[in-house]
Structure 1
Amino acid sequence: MSPANPSEAADRPRRSVLYMPAANARALEKAKGIDADALIFDLEDAVAPDAKEAARHGACAAAASGEYGYRELTIRCNSLDTPWGREDVLTAGAAAPSAVVIPKVSGAADLAAVAELLEASGATDATRIWAMIETPAGIANAREIAAFERTGAVVMGTNDMAKELRATITADRATLVPHLASCLVAAREAGVVAFDGVYNDIANADGFAAVCLQGAQMGFDGKTLIHPSQVGPCNDIFSPSLDELEFHRKVIAAFDEAVADGRGVVTVEGRMIENLHVDEARRAIVLAEAIAER
């Protein structure tokens, strides 16, 4: 199967994705100076019921303001089965964020209902759906969720995922890794972005770094975050290092030279190089260049 959305995963850096409570005007203002690649203005978990409407107004005003520079702006709506979800999507769509983030997506039918509301709001195709996978149904239907035509990303909701599975989140996340991996495979098959879930212990910098590195090594494009202090370390871990970039440039140069000479085999620093390594090198350099343009 060819990717449904082949350009989604490559068009911009999405290393750090920070949740910001949309009911907190001070937090929305502070977000303008935080070096996150993307922001999720949150109308769901971070907002009390009596503040939902004010949060919706604040999130949509922020998304439409043009005051957040390079940051990709999204709005997390409440589920459609809540009293606020339908109006959240309609209002958010009119504000034209990069995406609406939809919690607890069970399958393509949920996404179709959201897409219908986005169309009713006047949103263009540029407003994507970031589908949160955090339930057994979502895990089981990850392929159809990722492949849905308006899906721009799948977002791991690890806290709810653990709750629904009755699993304990261990330091190495061994209890969740199989489910994270299956969702990542679905995203890669569909050609969409995949975000790792949040890390809850803000004070544990070493624990965060370890889990962040695990997500990067698994292949996630970036990680969702709950505190500004997590942005810098996350950006560092999900960015190619200078040593890696130097090696990638050597790989491309050596492979191009080999092709020009009619050689089918090339080694760089003792490593056998094939087309797949060249593709990986070029992707890393494109990412590094996009980050540098910031």
Structure 2
Amino acid sequence: MENKNNVTEFVLGLTQNPQIQKIIFVVFLVVYIISVVGNVLTMFTTTASPLSGSPRYFFLAHLSLIDICYSSVNSPKLIADSLHEKKTIIFNGCMTQIFGEHFFGGAEVILLTVMAYDCYVAICKPLHYITIMNWQVCWVLMTVSWVGGFIHGIIQILFIFQLPFCGPNVIDHFMCDLNPLLKLACTDTHTLGFFVAVNSVFLYLLNSLLLMGFYVVILCTLRTHSLEGRRKVLSTCVSHVTVVILLLVPCLFKYLRSSVTLPIDKAVAVFYTLVTPMLNPLIFTLRNA
């Protein structure tokens, strides 16, 4: 196939203000270090202790692994760019970033739904929990999370990889993202932008509906529990619900608007790619002994 791309690299739209760049460097470096250290400690705690025998903590260990990978897709590049005047990324590097964002983001969304299912079984079918959530089932569900994220990332990258880029190469974002990149293509991308949004909305909306379904059933089941039992169950589930809200709400806010972009999208992207992976281990560990 003839290569229609005259663009070999993209310029990222990070601020050129030296003072702001220093602030960005310090803040994002601290956030990234806290994120990686927190998630590594969570992985170590849940795999090197008796907790490793519980499906709940098996999934939590994998969630921490995904968060480490997810935050590492963009953070190192962003931190390094804040030290340089010229902020560029090669074409293939840009495609890799987009794939990584959707691969690990998709895997995390599916895994959060799997963890909600685990809570549902533990609360609504306690006598059958060990039988239902055996290790074979846990590994199948974990594999579904990784494969689902991989398929989501591949679909997104296939949409954009064949687009011709022959003109402007400045991305109005601090990282490679689909919607800002679509605006640089030398062809009409309205239809493609719609399908890109549909792919993401399908993933996030479907998992949101499944999550709400599990928690509606859990809340209905709680009516038969004692007051102390309700308090214990809600205390167990609140950390998971908090993490779900922190990830899904920003993602749905961004992708439900199809190809329409807003200035706040940059802040939203920072939140779910950097801040959420940092908060997840804090939220889970503060709610568990």
The structure carrying a bigger helix percent of its residues is 2
Q: Same fold by TM-score, threshold 0.5 exceeded?
A: no
TM-score range, shorter chain: under 0.3
The structure carrying a bigger strand percent of its residues is 1
TM-score by length of 1: 0.26
